[in-house]
Amino acid sequence: MVLLEINIEAYPEPSFTWKQLMSDVEYPFAKTEKVSENNFISTLELILDQSSFGYYIITVQNIINGETKAKTWGIKIIELDPGTNTISCEQSVYQEGLGAGIGIGIGISAVIVILVLLAIFIYRKYHPVIMHAFLLTERTYEELNTPPVVNDNNQHNSGDVKEYENMRRN
């Protein structure tokens, strides 16, 4: 025996139709349980035989403002070899969630890298590197290692310096 179950949130109470796709047989004996005001569970109980394998369709219909809305889901029942491992629905959802989580993490990392590069580009655009004139002139090793020469011949171009020297002499 196998139980096929669907849990739906809906208001007002919807109708559930279970159907095997190959034989086009409807299963009117499916049970519907009202869990809360807007939560319903429909269960189809099957005794497995060779004709039970295949696709099953469940259609959930609801009437909203006089208009019929329907949503359909499918499930496939397959025959497994006795040595085949089965994957529960919870494991399957966990694996899908794990893959989505990794994808989201990579996407967020890529966005952060792009934002950092953009910030660097904008900063350099509005704060360019100022090159000093002495860095642009070519100098020899001797020029770089020679201390500046102090000129003591009292010949200056500035009038203020001449006045100072005249005041010092007097």
Tens-place pLDDT, residues 83-124: 555 444 444 444 555 566 777 888 898 899 999 999 888 888
- The confidence score (pLDDT) of residue 40 equals 92
Task: Give the pLDDT confidence score for residue 169 in this predicted structure.
Answer: 57
pLDDT at 151 over 90: no
Average pLDDT over residues 52-68: 88
Residue type, 97: G
Say which residue, 130 or 7, is predicted with more confidence: 7
Whether residue 92 is found in the same domain as residue 75: no
Q: Quick one: 19 and 70 in the same domain?
A: yes
Q: Which domain-ending residue is among 39, 58, 79?
A: 79
Number of domains into which the chain is organized: 2
pLDDT at 49: 80
- Same domain? For 62 and 99 the reply is no
- Residues in contact with 52: Cβ distance below 8 Å, sequence separation at least 6, in sequence order: 2, 20, 46, 77
* Claim to verify: residue 9 and residue 69 sit in the same structural domain: yes
pLDDT band with cut points at 50, 70 and 90 for residue 125:
confident
What residue spans of 7-158 are helical by DSSP H?
89-126, 133-136, 141-145
Do residue 34 and residue 55 come from a single domain? yes
> Residue 90's pLDDT is what?
46
Is residue 114 helix, strand or coil?
helix
63-90 average pLDDT score: 73
* Statement to judge: residues 6 and 38 lie in one domain: yes
Tell me: do 58 and 12 sit in the same domain: yes
Query: pTM value?
Result: 0.45
154 domain residue, yes or no: no
Q: Which domain holds residue 13?
A: 2-79
For 46-59, b where at least 16 C-beta lie within 10 A, e where not — what string?
Answer: beeeeeeeeebebe
Last residue of a domain, one of 79, 95, 129: 79
Q: How far apart are CA 159 and CA 167, in angstroms?
A: 12
Say which residue, 149 or 71, is predicted with more confidence. Answer: 71
Is the domain of 75 the same as that of 92? Answer: no
